[in-house]
Chain A
Amino acid sequence: MTTAATLLATPSRPHRRRTTWWKTAVGLALTAVMLFPVYWMLNVSFTPGQDMRKSPPDLFPAHATLAGYRAVLDEQLPYLGTSLLIALGTVVLTVALAAPAGYALAKLRPRGGGVLSFVLLAAQMIPGIIMAMGFYAICLQLGLLQSVPGLIVADSTLAVPFAVLIFTAFMSGIPGELLQAARTDGAGPLRTFWSIVLPMSRNAVVTVSLFAFLWSWSDFVFASTLVNGGAHEPITLGIYHYIGNNNQEWNAIMATAVVASLPAAVILVLAQRYVAAGVTAGAVKD
C-alpha cells in the first residue's frame, strides 16, 4: 500500500528534495501574483465607502466593514435566486440531452455518427454573440424574451456540444463485454443505458454538470440580450447594472462579485480533479 501510494505521489520526474524549497517559494510568489486580482476583489469588498477613493488605497481592509455584503443581501438576492434556478435548469437539460447521445455515439455505432461528432465540435466554435442574436429573434417570435425557460435553453447551448463529446469519450471506455452480457440477459438498449451505462458514467455526469452549472451561472451574453430589463435577471446582470449605474459603492459591487464567485470556489475545492479533466478533455485526446 505504502509503495503504491508513494509511486502515485511522485510520478515520472527525478526528484531532488534538497532543491525543492526554493521552487515552492517561487511557486507561492507566482500564485500570489496571479491571484492578486482575486485578493483585491475581497479587499475592496470589505473597504468602507469613505476609504474607497483614498490614495494610495489600503492594501489591507484595516477598518473592514460588512456594508457591501449587507447591500448584497438587500438588493441582490432575487438575482442570485434566478441564477441558481437557471443554472440548475441548464444542468438538467444538458445532461438529459447529452448522456443518451453520448451513449449512442460511443456504443451503438450509428451511421453518420462521425459527421455528428464533427458538427458538435464545430458548434463549439460559433461565437456566443452570434447565437445570442439568433436567439433574440427566436425568443421574440415565441414570446420567450424575459423568461427563465428561454434563458435556460440559450445557456444550455454553451454546454451541450461539450457534454456530448465528454460523454462519448467516457462511455467509449465502458467494456463492451458488459453491455454484451446485458443484452444476453435480455436487456434492451434503453434498459442497458439506464441501469448500466448511466450509473457507470457518474464521473462524466459530475464533470458535465459542473461545467454546465458554471457556464450558465457565469453567462452574460445571453442574459444581456434575452432577459435584460425583465423580471428574471441573473446575478451577472445584477453586477452589470451596478457598474452601469455609475455606482460609486465599489464595496457593494465587489461583494456581489465575491458572492457570484462562490460556486467557482466551491467547485474548485470539492471537485478540482473533475475540472482539470474537463479542461483537458475538451482540448486533448489521450
Chain B
Amino acid sequence: MNHTTKLSAPGPLRERGGVANAAPIRSRARKRRRPSSPQWAAWGFLAPVICYLVLFYAYPLYRNLDLSLRDYTVRSFVQGDAPFTGLANYRTVFEDPAFAPALAHTVVFTAVCLVFQFAIGLALAVFFNQNFRLSATLRALFLVPWLLPLIVSASTWSWMLNSDSGIVNAVLQAVGIGPVNWLTSPSWSLTSVIIANIWIGVPFNLVVLYSGLQSIPASLYEAAALDGANAWQRFWRITFPLLRPVSAITLLLGLVYTLKVFDIIWIMTKGGPAGSSTTFATWSYQLGFGNLLPAFGPGAAVGNLLVVAALVFGLVYVRVQRKQDAS
C-alpha cells in the first residue's frame, strides 16, 4: 500500500486527472512483477463465463453471420453444406418490397414508443418525487406492467383491443366513436402494438428517471423557490438540465430495447395484417421460422442489420456513460 502513495505523490498537482489515472496503473504494474498467481486466480474465476460467452454468444452470432452469407435450405441447414453466396441474401432483403415498409415501421415504432415512454415516465417521476402519502407504494405498483411476462401483457391487450368484445371499443362506443378494428385493420395495427409497448416501457423510464431526480439536491429547489421561480420554471431551469445525463442514458437504453421488441408485436398481430405492423425483428422471425418453407439466409440477414443498429446505439451509450463517469 505504501509504494502507491509514494508513486503518485511526485506527479504535478495541476494534472490531477492524469495522475489519478496513472497512479493505479503504475502500482498495478509493480504488483504484477511479484508472483503472478493473482492473475491466474482472476482468469480461473473468469474462465467459465468466458467459455460461456464464446460458446453461447460469439458462436450463435457467428452462425447467424454464416447463415446470412450462404444459400440455406432446410436440407442443407441440417447437413451444413450450403453454398457460399456472399451478400446475395442481403441483396434479396434490400430488394424485397417488404423492406421499405418494415424499415418505416421499425423507425416509427421505435421513435413513437421512445418519445411517449420517456415523456410519461418523466412526468410520473416528477409527480412521484413529491413524497405524498402512499407515493412509495403506488410507485411500486407502477412496476407491475414491466414485471409481467410479455405474453401476458400481449394477450391481455389483444383481448382489450378486440374489435367486437373488447373493452376499448365498448368505451369508445359509449362516447360515440365507431368501433375501431385495432388489430385487424392495416391502418391501426401498428398503433395498437405501439400503445401496448408504451404501457410496458413506462415503468422502466419512471424508475430510472425517479432515481435521477432523487440525486438533485433539494436545496436548489428551495433557493429557486425563494427567488420566486414557479413550478414550471423550476422544472425547466433545474430539473430538466440536471436530469440530462440520466435522460440520455435512459433514452439510449430505451432505444436499444425498443429496437429488439419482438414478443409483443408477434403475439398481438404477427406483424400483420398484410405486414402493416412488421418491424425488422418480426420480419426476421417471419422469414426464419414463420413460414412453411423457412428462408434462414434472408432471415439471418435482416437479423444482422438489427444487430448492427443495436450495436451502433450501444456504442453511443457506452461512450455517453464513460463521459459521464469521467466528469
Chain A residues proximal to chain B, CB less than 8 Å: 10-15, 20-21, 23-24, 26-28, 30-31, 34-35, 37-38, 40-41, 44, 52-57, 96-98, 100-101, 103-105, 108-111, 113, 116, 118-123, 125-138, 140-141, 153-154, 156-157, 160, 164, 188-190, 193, 214, 217-218, 220-221, 224-225, 236, 239-240, 243, 250, 253-254, 257, 260-261, 264-265, 267-268, 272, 275-276, 279-280, 282-286
Name B134's closest neighbour in chain A (CB-CB): A24
Overall SS of chain A's interface: helix
B249 and A283 form a contact (CB under 8 A): yes
A126 and B130 form a contact (CB under 8 A): no
Chain A residues with CB under 8 A of B20: none
Q: How large is the interface on B (under 10, 10 to 19, 20 to 34, 35 or more residues)?
A: 35 or more
Cβ distance B270 to chain A, nearest Cβ, rounded Å:
10
B49 and A160 form a contact (CB under 8 A): yes
- Given A130-B64, A220-B151, A240-B267, A100 contacting B48 (CB threshold 8 A): yes
- Given A30-B124, A118-B318, A119-B53, A24 contacting B144 (CB threshold 8 A): no
Q: Which 4 A-B pairs have the closest CB atoms?
A: A134-B60, A127-B260, A218-B149, A108-B42
Cα distance, A218 to B263, chains bound together (Å): 10
Chain A residues with CB under 8 A of B146: 279
Partner of A284, one of B48, B141, B212, B299: B212
Cβ distance A131 to chain B, nearest Cβ, rounded Å:
5
- Given A100-B45, A131-B60, A268-B143, A109 contacting B38 (CB threshold 8 A): yes
Interface check B81, CB cutoff 8 A: no
B136-147 CB mask vs A (1 if < 8 Å, else 0) is: 001011111111
B134 and A28 form a contact (CB under 8 A): yes
B42 and A53 form a contact (CB under 8 A): no
B50 and A15 form a contact (CB under 8 A): no
A27 and B127 form a contact (CB under 8 A): yes
Chain A residues with CB under 8 A of B314: 121-122, 125
